[in-house]
């Protein structure tokens, strides 16, 4: 286990992929808004410097085949995640919230044991690729640039789907097939009329489903 939350580190070395037995990696930072509040009376320059940072994960990261939990909130990860992300075959929890990447690799569907995916406040993310059928929880709230989602029809185990404030999203393909869904959050999805028309079918699948709309 490597726990390095709230450190000043801004990048991982290429040799990081040699940690073949690493199972849990937590390196979350405070999002910019929280950072600004905590540094306001100490050194306001810190937040300016942080705003200019942007990083990519090293190519060797995909060698972490034992990794089960990865928390990289607010690390300013930019660009595109490595295409060989599916090599992280043990990954169960993935938290990439508050980052700057614009797309996820199509190989995400290869993460066959992934249970929880957190992408909230990834303001540049435009699309969700095919996702693994093992998912129980997806949080993509406040992804203000999100325009499209690949069909979710294979996610028959999904219990919690949060798409709140994804204002550019126009449809959620396959939402009517989510037989295990228990919580659906779509507040602020005013353009998603097509998905709303399908919600009646979702409601008929479970009397305990909690739906949060605008």
The residue ranges of the chain whose pLDDT is under 50 are: 35-52
d(CA 113, CA 190): 33
DSSP the chain: -EE-TT-S-----GGGGG-TT--EEE-----HHHHHHHHTTT-THHHHHHHH--B---GGGGG-TT--EEE-TTS-BEEE--TTGGG-TT--EEE--S-EEEE--GGGGG-TT--EEE-TT-TT--EE----TT-SEEE-TT-TT--EE---TT-TT--EEE-TT-TT----TTGGG-TT--EEE-TT-TT-HHHHHHHHHHHHH-TT-EEE--
What's the confidence (pLDDT) of residue 205? Answer: 61
Whole-prediction pTM value? 0.85
Q: Give residue 99's pLDDT.
A: 95
pLDDT tens track for 4-44:
999 988 888 999 999 999 999 999 999 875 544 444 444 44
Q: Half-sphere exposure of 102 toward its Cβ, with a 13 Å CA cutoff?
A: 1
pLDDT at 37: 44
Residue 55 is predicted with a pLDDT of 64
pLDDT at 36: 43
């Amino acid at each position: 286990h490597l726990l390095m939350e709230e450190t000043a580190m801004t990048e991982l070395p290429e040799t990081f992929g040699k940690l073949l037995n690493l199972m849990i990696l937590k390196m979350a930072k405070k999002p910019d808004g929280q950072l600004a509040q905590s540094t306001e009376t100490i050194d306001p320059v810190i937040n300016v410097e942080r705003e200019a940072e942007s990083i990519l994960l090293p190519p060797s990261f995909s060698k972490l085949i034992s990794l089960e939990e990865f928390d990289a909130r607010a690390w300013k990860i930019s660009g595109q995640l490595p295409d060989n992300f599916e090599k992280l075959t043990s990954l169960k929890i993935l938290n990439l919230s508050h980052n700057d990447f614009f797309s996820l690799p199509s190989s995400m569907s290869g993460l066959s044991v992934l249970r929880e995916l957190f992408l909230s406040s990834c303001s540049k993310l435009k699309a969700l690729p095919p996702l693994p059928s093992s998912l129980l929880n997806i949080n993509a709230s406040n992804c203000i640039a999100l325009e499209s989602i690949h069909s979710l029809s294979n996610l028959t185990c999904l219990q919690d789907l949060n798409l709140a404030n994804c204002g550019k999203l126009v449809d959620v393909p396959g939402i009517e097939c989510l037989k295990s869904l228990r919580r659906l959050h779509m507040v602020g999805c005013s353009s998603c009329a097509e998905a709303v028309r399908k919600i009646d079918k979702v409601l008929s699948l479970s009397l305990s489903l909690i739906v949060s709309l605008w």
